[in-house]
Structures are given as structure tokens and as C-alpha cells.
């Protein structure tokens, strides 16, 4: 009797693992379908409790045959526009003209203290291709469950740690090309993250990430409770308009 119970329990575990693998494959296919699209637009809205850092709305338009345009809401509600063409990036602060990325970061250099322009550069690295981030996270999904319109899951502690540090997974790999002037990574404790995934017509359409933990910069610890929701739209029809002064900074 006890042996039959054990065998039955093992069968359930095997079936559960197969279902989980099938669900991960479906998520992979839905995300890859969006990644393979020639263009798309997205909006990411980040909500935090009163007084916490990080709230705001970022927007993006990605046309693989042309340019990537980003609008990033930063400190005190200031919005920075970004245009990317190949390996060239142009930046337009809310109170300034278009600059190269090198000009922008140099202007924010204050002799070794906190440089908001370099922090923005890390945000740009993530914002310029949010679907790549989603593809990277699929392997970190745990406790995956299917819902009526998608999936819910926990993320591994390592994936939660990377989200809290504002760094893409690829940037933490040993062979990645790191910026020698970039600030050291923050210390992360108690990282936790959950994810909700929506799929429409076989394609990724929405992702909600809820991340909590403690982030320490130079000995100053900040408790983080952040919910970031990204919605994708205009797949295949998104176009990016580029002003002439931005093209000049991009060398195009």
C-alpha cells in the first residue's frame, strides 16, 4: 500500500514536471514570436510605495530595420529621450539638446560621486530590448502555474537579484564587456520576485514583475517594493521618426 502511494506520488511529480516544461516551452514560443517581429511599441509603468525611488513610466518604439526610440522618466519626473542606431546612442535631456552618449555621460561626471547619467545608461541597456530580458528570465521561472490568459510564477533568487540591481543578466556574465567607469554593483539582500505573463494570439502581450528586497549603495540600504508592468502593442506596424539633429549625433 505504502509502495503504491510512493509510486503514485512519483507519477504526479513526473506529470507536473512535464506540464511545467510544456508551459515553459509555450512561454518561450510566445516570447520568441514577439522577439522575431520586425517592430513593436511598449509602455512600462513602475509603481512603488510612497517615498520609494523608481516610480515612473518608460516608453519604447523598436524598429529593427531602423531606429530604437526610448522615453525614460527619471529623477523628479524629468523625461529623457533616447535614439539608438546600431552601436550609436543619442540622448536628449528634458532641458537640453540631442547629445552623443559620450557627451551626456561626461556632462554628468562629478568627480567620482553619484553620476545620474551613468545610472541612466544602465536603464537604457535594459529598456532598449525588454523582450530579450523576458527571454532570459524564462529559465529562472519557478512554481509556474497556468491562468486563463497566461501564467504566474516565482523567479529564482538570482534573477530577482539582477532585477533589483537594474542590470541585465548578460551584463553579469564573466565574458561580458563591462564599462570600467561604471559604478560597482549594489549589495542585494532578501531578493524576491514574482511574474505574471499574458499571452494573446500566441504572442507575449504583457508582463508584470513584482520585486522586493534590500539594496545597499555605499553602505546606504534601501528597501525596495516595486511593480513594473510592460504592455506590448503595434507589433509589426511601429515606426520611429528621427529628427535631423538626432541623426547628426548618430552619424546617420
pLDDT value, residue 116:
66
SS3 185: coil
Question: Where residue 51 falls among pLDDT bands split at 50, 70, 90?
Answer: low
- CA–CA distance, 178 with 167 (Å, rounded to integer): 11
> How do residues 108-127 score in pLDDT, each as one tens digit?
665 555 566 777 777 788 78
Calculate mean pLDDT across residues 217-237.
90
Cell of 251: 552619424
Q: Which of 8, 6, 1, 27 is nearest to 152 (CA)?
A: 27
When computed from its CA atoms, the radius of gyration of the chain, rounded to whole angstroms, is 20
Residue 114 has what pLDDT?
Answer: 56
Spatial CB neighbours of 62, under 8 Å, sequence gap ≥ 6:
39, 40, 41, 42, 68, 69, 128, 129, 238, 240
- Residue 14 — very low, low, confident or very high, per pLDDT cuts 50/70/90? very low
Q: Output the pLDDT for position 98.
A: 95
Specify the pLDDT at position 166: 64
The reported pTM is 0.81
Contacting residues for 8 by C-beta, under 8 A, at least 6 apart: none
Q: What is the DSSP string of 72-127?
A: EE-GGG-EEEEEEETTEEEEE-TTS--EEHHHHHHHT--SSS--HHHHHHHHHHHH
How far apart are the C-alpha atoms of 46 and 48, rounded to whole Å?
7
Asked if residue 238 lies in contact with residue 60, where contact means CB atoms within 8 angstroms, the answer is no
**Domain assignments of the chain as residue spans, ordered by start:** 26-243
pLDDT, averaged across the chain: 82
Exposure of 36 in the CB half-sphere (CA atoms within 13 A): 8
More confident residue, 154 or 12: 154
Element (H, E) at 232: strand 220-233
pLDDT number for residue 112: 54
CATH code assigned to 26-243: 2.50.20.20
CB 231 within 8 A of CB 206: yes
Amino acid at each position: 500500500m505504502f509502495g503504491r502511494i510512493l509510486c503514485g506520488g512519483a507519477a504526479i511529480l513526473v506529470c507536473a514536471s512535464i506540464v511545467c516544461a510544456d508551459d515553459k516551452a509555450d512561454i518561450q514560443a510566445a516570447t520568441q514570436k514577439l522577439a522575431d517581429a520586425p517592430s513593436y511599441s511598449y509602455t512600462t509603468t513602475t509603481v512603488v510605495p510612497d517615498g520609494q525611488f523608481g516610480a515612473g513610466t518608460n516608453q519604447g518604439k523598436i524598429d529593427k530595420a531602423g531606429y530604437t526610440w526610448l522615453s525614460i522618466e527619471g529623477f523628479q519626473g524629468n523625461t529623457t529621450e533616447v535614439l539608438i542606431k546600431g552601436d550609436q546612442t543619442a540622448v536628449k535631456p528634458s532641458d537640453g539638446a540631442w547629445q552623443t552618449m559620450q557627451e551626456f555621460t561626461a556632462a554628468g561626471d562629478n568627480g567620482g560621486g553619484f553620476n545620474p547619467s551613468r545610472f541612466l545608461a544602465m536603464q537604457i541597456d535594459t529598456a532598449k530590448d525588454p523582450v530579450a530580458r523576458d527571454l532570459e528570465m524564462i529559465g529562472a521561472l519557478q512554481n509556474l502555474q497556468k491562468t486563463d490568459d497566461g501564467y504566474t510564477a516565482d523567479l529564482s533568487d538570482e534573477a530577482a537579484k539582477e532585477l533589483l540591481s537594474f542590470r541585465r543578466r548578460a551584463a553579469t556574465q564573466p565574458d561580458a564587456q563591462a564599462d570600467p567607469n561604471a559604478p560597482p554593483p549594489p549589495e542585494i539582500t532578501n531578493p524576491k520576485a514574482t511574474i505574471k505573463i499574458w499571452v494573446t494570439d500566441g504572442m507575449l502581450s504583457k508582463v508584470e514583475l513584482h520585486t522586493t528586497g534590500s539594496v545597499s549603495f555605499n553602505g546606504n540600504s534601501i528597501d525596495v517594493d516595486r511593480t513594473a508592468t510592460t504592455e506590448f502593442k503595434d507589433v509589426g506596424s511601429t515606426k520611429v521618426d528621427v529628427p535631423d539633429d538626432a541623426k547628426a549625433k548618430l552619424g546617420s
